[in-house]
Structure 1
Amino acid sequence: MTIIKSAEVIVTSPGRNFVTLQITTEDGTTGLGDATLNGRELAVAVYLADHVIPLLKGRDAMNIEDTWQYLYRGAYWRRGPVTMAAIAAVDMALWDIKAKVAELPMYQLLGGQSRTGALAYGHASGRDTEELHDSIRANLEAGFKAIRVQSGIPGADSVYGVHSNAPTADAPATPAGARASRVLPEVETWDTRAYLRHVPTEIESVRHEFGAELPLLHDAHHRLTPREAAQLGRSLEPFDLFWLEDVTPIEDPTALRYVREHTTTPLAIGEVLNSVHDYQTLVTERLVDYVRSAVTHTGGITHLKKLADFASIYGVRTGFHGPTDVSPVGQAAHLHLDLALHNFGIQEYMIHSEATAEVFETSFRFEDGLLHPGERIGLGVEIDREAARRHAYEPGYLPVARLHDGSVHDW
């Protein structure tokens, strides 16, 4: 048996906050798991330290499925982002250990590779058409073969997804709200009618400038009613999107029935979901084309693979959530799954900062638009504890959206 000797939560903030679990076995093998929950990081850190780690000591690290069920079913209070992020961290760390013991890269334990690399999409945005086109060119020059397009809206000071545009480690494209030092959330003003008028014109300009072959994606970020979402999907049909993401709030999955009836634009959703059970209606009724959960928020490798296998039965593909608030540990876990899963669709990829790269040493690579986890045993990520200690936790929040009348809207 490979017995767990100890486990430790590491909170570090190299430009933004990350929560990492390190599990150590009696023979000295270590495994890492990502437990980062953007804006609520310490809730998961405390959950792990006070409620989960005491349950791990003395367990056999090889029994990953049993440990997963023990933490999920044994606690009685199931699901939710805090619980599932904590379980995810344990699960990733145990897979990391198992692959290291086997002396194999983790994807080999999932059945080996189904492809040579995972198609990744970059993030382009601009306050106006010229900035947006410049951002797309920068992404193309960086090697991306698929690009998410987000545009400023006339009259709006700030808009979700319009941010720093350089997709490099020196100046990574970071999502709005990634300001770790803010004490209170930034407030953005939202105008749905202006958005619905403007976005199709910008997507049309991108198609005219960059041609029909470039896969384009767009994120509505849960801000539309079903009718508004259907309107947007219909207006974007001539421009052949790879997907339209998060068109409505996901609390009511049946809202997607109306959207599906009125547009053929492919739909992706799920980054705020954290269980395969959340997807039952969405998948069995084929209301979406891509599932968007992140390994960090969906119970780890064990549970995310179950979601992917469930989705595959209905012809639904994966498009795992991969912003920079998923740490390099979580992103590595995505890439091992991406390489192995038959129903892989695309992988979101935001390049972490140089400071983050100093804390987390990774083996994954990005070449010719494709990501690969590398051949290092385990997940292929190691943490520099000394570098992590140099970056203390800083409270931070994602923005809040309000309408012009001051009422809170979905962010």
Structure 2
Amino acid sequence: MKIAHAEVLVTSPGRNFVTLKLVTEDGLVGYGDGTLNGRELAVVAYLEEHVLPLLTGRNAHAIEDTWQYLYRGAYWRRGPVTMAAIAAVDVALWDLKAKAAGMPLYELLGGESRRGALAYGHASGNDLPQLFDSIREHLDLGYRAVRIQTGVPGLGQIYGVAGGDGDRYDYEPARRSAVALEEVWDTRAYLRHVPTVFEAVRHEFGPELPLLHDGHHRMTPNQAAALGRALEPYDLFWLEDCTPAENPEALRRVRSQTTTPLAVGEVFNSVFDYQTLITEQLIDYVRSAVTHTGGITALRKIMDFAAVYQIRSGFHGPTDISPVGMAAALHLDIALHNFGIQEYMRHSPATLEVFRTSYTFVDGLLHPGSTPGLGVEVDEQASRAFPYSPAYLPVNRLTDGTVHDW
């Protein structure tokens, strides 16, 4: 089964998405997600100028060989642009292989390990009443776990928190503009406020509801450790990205000071980012996305490595991952033994006009469905109604103007 044609599709039905389309000589079509939020066109150029010319005539069944060829053959390895491009190819090849076999992809990954994948949604608000309303909305939608993000008194709009303008945060937290907007941040104010929020949420919603929180890399190791300890009475499912994790020493410090579970890796793109964190058991959950970590082939290997150390998955799944990337994650979720939880932000109606999906969300659980392949098809005619336009996530600054992590 040889690849006869390859092209990159760019569309923006609420968000910008990069999709690789592969067509075999016998007419099978496979799709892969190469979206890199705010740097989408860099991946487009990488694919069109450097990868697509290498694909025509290749054996579409040779997924491992193609992955190694694209990773090792370029000499320049890793990095988000390279790994997103490789992921797009890898996922499209898995889609083709499963379609050729007439099976949903998870069957080729070992079959079902569970009935469905527990999902969490994003509840947020500028104040407690808004937050409580958002939590109730998510519970009404069927979620059994929620991420809690909140405004901080004295600060303005904060990334991860829905604004009061009626716009859906999860459809497009990036803003359409030529340059990124800037937000103001105060870590000490945040650290004082967040434990009071979780105390109020537990009082209102009880001890059973799994609660998650994302620190967006904004804390030093000591600050992260202090927050982890302060949140222990509220039994978090996890504290995510509490401090930049590129330096494993930072997680050693946090790990030694708190028993709050830690999730890390949203910005990682290689097993080498995780190596020390996994072998020293400094984290509890792997947060990578299939789309940004070299595809199904690479992320499956990371999770097999993590399983030896009782570390579970918590794959990145916001709406800047296209439905193609979400479906790829779900097939892994269903097949992996060491699945933990799946982030799930619902795509906009416009996005679902372009990407026709077969995955389901019922009683808090996601399932990729039984359609052969990934279970996602792209309506190219519909996609042309949504041309690309620049959009960027905000830049974070401290109150004195210093650029800060987030």
Q: Residue 178 of structure 1: CA displacement?
A: 1.9
Contact 2:171–2:348 at 8 Å: present in 1 too?
no
1:131 maps to 2:130: yes
Separation in structure 1 between the aligned mates of residue 320 and residue 314 of structure 2, nearest angstrom = 16
In the alignment, what sits opposite 1:359? 354
1:410 maps to 2:390: no
Contact 1:172–1:351 at 8 Å: present in 2 too?
no
Q: Secondary structure at the match of 1:6?
A: strand
Q: Residue 251 of structure 1: CA displacement?
A: 2.1
Separation in structure 1 between the aligned mates of residue 9 and residue 164 of structure 2, nearest angstrom = 30
Q: Residue 54 of structure 1: CA displacement?
A: 0.3
Contact 1:34–1:296 at 8 Å: present in 2 too?
yes
In the alignment, what sits opposite 2:241? 246
In the alignment, what sits opposite 1:103? 102
Q: Residue 385 of structure 1: CA displacement?
A: 0.4
In the alignment, what sits opposite 2:170? 174
In the alignment, what sits opposite 1:161? 160
Separation in structure 2 between the aligned mates of residue 53 and residue 203 of structure 1, nearest angstrom = 49
> Could you tell me the percent identity over the aligned residues?
68
Could you tell me which of 180, 186, 189 is aligned with 1:185? 180
In the alignment, what sits opposite 2:250? 255
Separation in structure 1 between the aligned mates of residue 41 and residue 26 of structure 2, nearest angstrom = 30
1:292 maps to 2:287: yes
1:76 maps to 2:75: yes
In the alignment, what sits opposite 1:310? 305
Cα deviations by residue, 1:138-167 (Å, 9 ceiling, x for unpaired): 00000000000001000111112101699x
Contact 2:118–2:365 at 8 Å: present in 1 too?
yes
TM-score by length of 2: 0.98
Separation in structure 1 between the aligned mates of residue 369 and residue 375 of structure 2, nearest angstrom = 7
In the alignment, what sits opposite 1:148? 147
Separation in structure 2 between the aligned mates of residue 299 and residue 128 of structure 1, nearest angstrom = 39
Could you tell me which of 321, 334, 350 is aligned with 1:326? 321
In the alignment, what sits opposite 2:27? 28
The 5 A counterparts of 1:9-88 are: 9-88=8-87
CA change 1:175–1:254 in 2 (3 A) is farther
Separation in structure 2 between the aligned mates of residue 172 and residue 56 of structure 1, nearest angstrom = 39
CA change 1:175–1:384 in 2 (3 A) is closer
Separation in structure 2 between the aligned mates of residue 284 and residue 175 of structure 1, nearest angstrom = 36
Cα deviations by residue, 1:95-120 (Å, 9 ceiling, x for unpaired): 00000000000000001000000000
Contact 2:15–2:172 at 8 Å: present in 1 too?
no
Could you tell me which of 273, 296, 317 is aligned with 2:268? 273
1:340 maps to 2:339: no
What RMSD in Å do the two structures reach over aligned CA positions?
1.3
CA change 1:165–1:289 in 2 (3 A) is farther
Separation in structure 1 between the aligned mates of residue 189 and residue 181 of structure 2, nearest angstrom = 21
Contact 2:14–2:172 at 8 Å: present in 1 too?
no
CA change 1:175–1:265 in 2 (3 A) is farther
Contact 1:24–1:31 at 8 Å: present in 2 too?
yes
Contact 1:165–1:173 at 8 Å: present in 2 too?
no
Contact 2:126–2:163 at 8 Å: present in 1 too?
no
Contact 1:163–1:175 at 8 Å: present in 2 too?
no
Q: Secondary structure at the match of 2:21?
A: strand
1:367 maps to a residue whose letter is: V
How many residue pairs were aligned? 406
1:232 maps to 2:231: no
Contact 2:14–2:171 at 8 Å: present in 1 too?
no
- Deviating 4+ runs (over 4 angstroms): 170-173
Q: Secondary structure at the match of 2:300?
A: helix
Q: Where does structure 1 lack aligned partners over 5 or more consecutive residues?
A: none
Separation in structure 2 between the aligned mates of residue 128 and residue 278 of structure 1, nearest angstrom = 36
Contact 1:164–1:174 at 8 Å: present in 2 too?
no
Q: Secondary structure at the match of 1:254?
A: helix
Q: Residue 171 of structure 1: CA displacement?
A: 6.9
